[in-house]
Structure 1
Amino acid sequence: MQVLQVQLEIRPDPAEVGRARRWARSRLAGSGIETDEPLAETLILLVSELVTNAVVHTGCPAVLRLSLPGVPGESLGTVRLEVADSSDCPPRPRHAEGDETNGRGLELVDGLADRWGWNPEGVGKSIWCEVDRCTSAAKAPAAYVTYQGFAYEAYEAV
């Protein structure tokens, strides 16, 4: 199976989060994942969370990497995204309470990605997540679920 790998350098500036989302949208569309697909929306949210964490919590430049399966039109595989930075501080999942405005990022990543983790990389680290890709015909809506006060459409493989 072919895998397309692309990357974007991120400056330690909150404006970079929007730039990373736009860049990721264009790369997903180029790989055959349409911007209005639930998969694309999930991946863009994951990009936003991981890039925001790198920008806000490290203050270091970072690199966003996307690994996209196959070629346009191919419907199976795993999309992997990762953000590498030069901070050696490991990610620290937190649990936000009530009206707190921070502390939900990694919980959200955990709830939306099929897998996630982190690895030391050089003098820093890489935080990654993966979402398994399958055709919409292979997935059927199972239910709406609530996670941390937000409603999500849950899918179950058929």
Structure 2
Amino acid sequence: MNDIVHAAQRRWQADYKAELSAVGQVRRAVRARLLRYGLEEDSDALGELMVMASELVTNAIVHACAVGDVATVRLWTCGGIWQLEVQDPLCRPLPEPTEAGAAATGGRGLLLVRGLSDEFGVELLRGRGKNVWVRKVAAPAMEGR
């Protein structure tokens, strides 16, 4: 795991084995960084970013990774903008939020992510997979710890 600090910008990234057990690890690591970088414990933004981290990592593991693959999680913040990214090794298919049927037990994750984020996007990484990202605007309550 790496923390990089520039003036008013903070970045963190970590690689995780593509196993469902990694989802909880990612959630805890993202939460720790969000708190360290200044979000309040009980803020809506903290909870929303943690939900989005869980959804994006789960999607990468379930839909874009094979056994032994690695997913990279990145978080950066600058000036009240928080960006969370999950990179996986699969160039296709590009994830698209879709409406799930009433009886479906899954298929709502990206709709949830789109609803919680201020921006959502996907970028192809020329033979290195794709990066799915979200942005949330939320002023930190204090300077990061």
TM bin (shorter chain):
0.7 to 0.9
Q: Which runs of 5+ in 2 are unaligned?
A: 1-6
Q: Which residue of 2 aligns with 1:111?
A: 115
Tell me, yes or no, if the aligned pair for 1:79 and 1:133 is still in contact at 8 Å.
Answer: yes
1:68 Cα deviation (Å)? 1.8
1:93 Cα deviation (Å)? 2.3
Q: Which residue of 1 aligns with 2:24?
A: 18
The correspondence for 1:65, drawn from 55, 74, 78, is 74
- Runs of 4+ in structure 1 over 2 Å off: none
Tell me, yes or no, if the aligned pair for 1:25 and 1:35 is still in contact at 8 Å.
Answer: no
**Number of aligned residues:** 130
1:134 Cα deviation (Å)? 3.0
1:61 Cα deviation (Å)? 1.5
Question: If the length of structure 1 is used for normalisation, what is the TM-score?
Answer: 0.77
Q: Which residue of 1 aligns with 2:62?
A: 56
Tell me, yes or no, if the aligned pair for 2:83 and 2:135 is still in contact at 8 Å.
Answer: yes
Alpha-carbon distance in structure 1 between the residues aligned to 2:106 and 2:30: 23
Q: Which residue of 1 aligns with 2:95?
A: 91
Greater relative contact order: 1 or 2 (C-alpha under 8 angstroms, separation 6 or more)?
Answer: 2
Alpha-carbon distance in structure 2 between the residues aligned to 1:53 and 1:35: 26
Alpha-carbon distance in structure 2 between the residues aligned to 1:116 and 1:65: 15
Alpha-carbon distance in structure 1 between the residues aligned to 2:95 and 2:103: 22
1:135 Cα deviation (Å)? 6.4
Q: Which residue of 2 aligns with 1:128?
A: 133
Q: Which runs of 5+ in 1 are unaligned?
A: 70-75, 137-158
The correspondence for 1:6, drawn from 7, 12, 16, is 12
1:119 Cα deviation (Å)? 0.4
Residue 36 of structure 2 aligns with an amino acid whose one-letter code is G
Identity %: 35
CA deviations on 1:18-60 (whole Å, 9 max, x unpaired) are 0000000110111111232111001000101100100111123
CA distance 1:96–1:53, shift in 2 (3 Å)? same
The structure whose Rg is larger is: 1
Q: Secondary structure at the match of 1:33?
A: coil
**What is the root-mean-square deviation in Å for CA atoms of aligned residues?**
1.5
